[in-house]
């Protein structure tokens, strides 16, 4: 393979990648303005150009070892890059985020097989796709050998590439400085886009933006809580937190969850919060907001310092025993490094090959803990069921909702796929979890623990099943109600229960426990971004985070902020909205990302 062949091969890959990149815009939409269109035309080849240039350099180095090394390098590296791009397109179309090191660590980590469950047909389609990619790459390499264009064509293409690259970066720098939505909202569409910005230089040159760009949260030492906690509980209730992974708000019905529903209806001390939002649309953010009562943006900081939630610290000080039993692994994500750090002999994983088996194992281990527990000591229990995450239940389970599908083959799902069979399978998995919870409640009552145990049942996030017919399946892809609205039920001995219709969020649970169970006198703002769960004060806004984006919800309006400062607006059904949340809500919510730093 000659140097000229290498150039044309990289150029062919550049054209291919640019064409494939249109898929991202078909998913997220083209920006319908002249400026937006111009940026799109420069952005697509400009972003692909970086990878083509990198490929060219590597192949030139291989060419120094001989033409055959360059040929096999082209086939290998070209195939790998094509495969990664197509995989990223698939992930983006399903979840609206890009392939990343964090996701690869999760996929190939110890919990990968538990989190990502795919049918055999999907692996077969994947294998066929890989073979087609290999064949396509070889065809491009063969085509490059046949191109006879000379030096003038090469020079013209190089000059055009420099113009595109410079124009793309210059336009972005201007759009970043001027906070232009037409430019900022597109940058997250393409994978690993890192255009240049020139805010400081443009200011030095005398230019002024129309409005200040959004600044990143200030860094510094964590200040959580703001002041030492002052707690003096009069009575030490046991506390049991029950989490259901991917629990949709509309699945709490007498048909889907008869045991839990009847337990609520027949208990005078039971509360049902009908308008409850998670602090995230994925497990990390949902559990983090529930346990820390602060935004998921602090994850890296508290993990690096192994800072426990204030709730866990105070329970430890009061002599509580910890009974932590999760179906999924607690080291992937690294809850053992933050939420449950400093707990001796923490139970990391459950036994079983299927999620329903691990759910049963986690519950049985918790019941075994109760059998050997000293009833004179209070305990904090944590049970996390995972079957609904993969719509899993035993093969011989008497599933009430039919017809139901087999496990999701995401490669075959489209916006036109009928969600009903998949919804039925999901309901069956929740129905199965409900049967386990029914057994749990029976055991608690037989032990007399229902009289001195605060029980909280909620979800880490919701689960979308093509509800909007926009091809959203699962979670962590948008902030609509289907992925963020979860049930919340609380049994609190001695309190008069009932239905609460005011809006609440995961940030409100810890303030309620610290205030009413542990009798802490600190202001809520010392340790929380929320309010007391039992206070009906209007929550002006709620922060909901994903792995990559941040959303502010005010009423039924949702404004999504990406990492580049762009804002897109939706209603709770993920329909684009003309209006943003109020500037007051936006401004106050952004302060939460620095409130717990010194």
* Domain definitions of the chain by residue range: 3-204, 257-595
Q: Cα–Cα distances in Å, from 476 out to 96, 117, 407?
A: 8, 16, 19
Other Cβ atoms less than 10 A from the Cβ of 225: the count is 18
For the residues 220-231, what does the mean pLDDT come to?
A: 89
Measured in whole angstroms, the distance separating CA 78 from the mean position of its chain's CA atoms is: 30
Looking at residue 421, what is its pLDDT? 95
- The answer to whether 271 and 449 have CB atoms below 8 angstroms apart is no
- The answer to whether 386 and 245 have CB atoms below 8 angstroms apart is yes
Looking at residue 470, what is its pLDDT? 87
Question: What CATH superfamily is the domain 257-595?
Answer: Alkaline Phosphatase, subunit A (3.40.720.10)
Number of H-type helices and E-type strands within the chain: 19, 13
The share of the chain scoring above pLDDT 70, in percent, equals 93
**Range with the lowest mean pLDDT among 271-280, 331-340, 481-490?**
331-340
Collapse the DSSP code of 561 into the 3-class scheme (helix H, G, I; strand E, B; otherwise coil) and give the result.
Answer: strand
Number of residues in the chain: 598
Q: State the Cα–Cα distance between residues 407 and 73, nearest whole angstrom.
A: 38
For the residues 477-497, what does the mean pLDDT come to?
A: 96
Is the confidence at residue 460, as pLDDT, over 50? yes
Is the confidence at residue 218, as pLDDT, over 80? no
Is the confidence at residue 242, as pLDDT, over 80? yes
Collapse the DSSP code of 471 into the 3-class scheme (helix H, G, I; strand E, B; otherwise coil) and give the result.
Answer: coil
Burial of 15 (C-beta count, 10 Å sphere; 0-12/13-18/19+) = middle
Is the confidence at residue 527, as pLDDT, over 60? yes
Q: Give 321's strand partners.
A: 379
Looking at residue 249, what is its pLDDT? 97
Write the DSSP assignment of 383-403 as a string of letters: EEE-GGGTT---TTS---S-S
Looking at residue 104, what is its pLDDT? 66
Confidence of residue 368 (pLDDT cuts 50, 70, 90): very high
Looking at residue 106, what is its pLDDT? 55
What is the per-residue pLDDT across 78-124, written as a single tens digit (0 to 9) for each? Answer: 999 999 999 888 877 766 667 766 556 656 666 566 656 667 777 78
For the residues 578-593, what does the mean pLDDT come to?
A: 86
Is the confidence at residue 42, as pLDDT, over 80? yes
333 or 359, higher pLDDT: 359
Residue with tokens 């000059």: 159
Is the confidence at residue 431, as pLDDT, over 90? yes
For the residues 444-456, what does the mean pLDDT come to?
A: 96
Looking at residue 222, what is its pLDDT? 87
Looking at residue 30, what is its pLDDT? 83
Mean pLDDT for all residues in the chain: 90
What is the per-residue pLDDT across 147-187, written as a single tens digit (0 to 9) for each? Answer: 888 889 999 999 999 999 999 999 999 887 876 767 877 88
Q: What angle do CA 340, 342, 348 make, to 5 degrees?
A: 50
Is the confidence at residue 219, as pLDDT, over 60? no
Q: State the Cα–Cα distance between residues 208 and 214, nearest whole angstrom.
A: 15
Peptide bond into 225 cis (omega under 30): yes
For the residues 442-464, what does the mean pLDDT come to?
A: 97
Q: State the Cα–Cα distance between residues 341 and 332, nearest whole angstrom.
A: 13
Other Cβ atoms less than 10 A from the Cβ of 587: the count is 10
Looking at residue 110, what is its pLDDT? 65
Backbone angles phi, psi at 125, to 5 degrees: -60, -35
Q: State the Cα–Cα distance between residues 143 and 445, nearest whole angstrom.
A: 74
């Amino acid at each position: 393979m000659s140097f000229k062949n290498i150039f044309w091969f990289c150029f062919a890959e550049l054209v291919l990648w640019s064409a494939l990149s249109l898929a991202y815009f078909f998913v997220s939409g083209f920006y319908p303005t002249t400026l937006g269109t111009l940026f799109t035309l420069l952005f697509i080849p400009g972003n692909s150009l970086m990878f083509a240039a990198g490929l060219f350099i590597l192949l030139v180095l291989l060419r120094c070892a001989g033409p055959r090394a360059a040929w096999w390098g082209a086939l290998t590296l070209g195939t790998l890059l094509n495969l990664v791009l197509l995989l990223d397109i698939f992930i983006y179309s399903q979840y609206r985020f890009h392939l990343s090191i964090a996701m690869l660590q999760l996929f190939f980590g110890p919990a990968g097989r538990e989190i990502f469950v795919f049918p055999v047909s999907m692996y077969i389609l994947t294998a066929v796709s890989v073979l087609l990619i290999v064949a396509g790459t070889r065809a491009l390499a063969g085509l490059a050998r046949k191109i006879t264009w000379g030096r003038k064509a090469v020079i013209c293409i190089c000059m055009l590439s420099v113009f595109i690259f410079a124009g793309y970066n210059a336009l972005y720098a201007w759009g970043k400085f001027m906070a232009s939505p037409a430019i900022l909202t597109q940058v997250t569409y393409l994978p690993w886009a890192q255009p240049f910005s020139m805010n400081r230089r443009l200011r030095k040159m005398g230019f002024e933006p129309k409005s200040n760009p959004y600044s990143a949260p200030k860094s510094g030492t964590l200040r959580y809580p703001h002041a030492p906690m002052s707690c003096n509980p009069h009575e030490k209730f046991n506390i049991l937190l029950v989490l259901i992974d991917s629990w949709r708000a509309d699945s709490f019905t007498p048909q889907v969850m008869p045991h839990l529903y009847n337990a609520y209806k027949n208990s005078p001390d039971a509360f049902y919060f009908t308008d409850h939002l998670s602090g995230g649309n994925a497990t990390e953010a949902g559990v983090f907001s529930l346990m820390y009562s602060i935004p998921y943006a602090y994850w890296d900081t508290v993990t690096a310092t192994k800072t426990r939630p204030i709730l866990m610290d105070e329970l430890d000080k009061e002599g509580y025993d910890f009974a932590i039993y999760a179906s999924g692994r607690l080291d992937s994500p690294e809850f053992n490094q933050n939420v449950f750090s400093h707990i001796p002999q923490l139970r990391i994983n459950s036994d079983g090959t299927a999620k329903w088996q691990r759910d049963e194992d986690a519950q049985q281990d918790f019941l075994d803990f109760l059998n050997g527990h000293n009833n004179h000591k209070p305990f904090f229990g944590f049970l996390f069921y995972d079957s609904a995450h993969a719509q899993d239940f035993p093969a011989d389970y008497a599933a009430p909702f039919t017809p139901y599908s087999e496990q999701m083959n995401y490669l075959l799902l489209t916006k036109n796929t009928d969600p009903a069979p998949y919804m039925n399978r999901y309901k069956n998995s929740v129905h199965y979890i409900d049967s386990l919870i029914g057994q749990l409640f029976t055991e608690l009552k037989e032990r007399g623990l229902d009289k001195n145990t605060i029980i909280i049942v909620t979800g880490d996030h919701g689960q979308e099943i093509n509800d909007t017919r926009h091809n959203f399946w699962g979670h962590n892809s948008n902030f609509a109600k289907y992925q963020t609205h979860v049930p919340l039920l609380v049994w609190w001995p001695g309190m008069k229960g009932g239905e609460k219709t005011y809006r609440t969020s995961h940030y409100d649970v810890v303030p309620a426990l610290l205030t009413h169970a542990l009798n802490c006198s600190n202001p809520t703002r010392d340790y929380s971004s929320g309010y007391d769960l039992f206070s009906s004060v209007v929550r002006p806004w709620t922060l909901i985070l994903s792995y990559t984006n941040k959303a502010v919800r005010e009423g039924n309006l949702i404004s999504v902020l990406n990492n580049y400062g762009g804002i897109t607006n939706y209603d709770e059904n993920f329909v684009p909205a003309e209006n943003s949340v109020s500037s007051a809500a936006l401004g106050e919510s952004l302060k939460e990302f620095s409130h717990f730093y010194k």
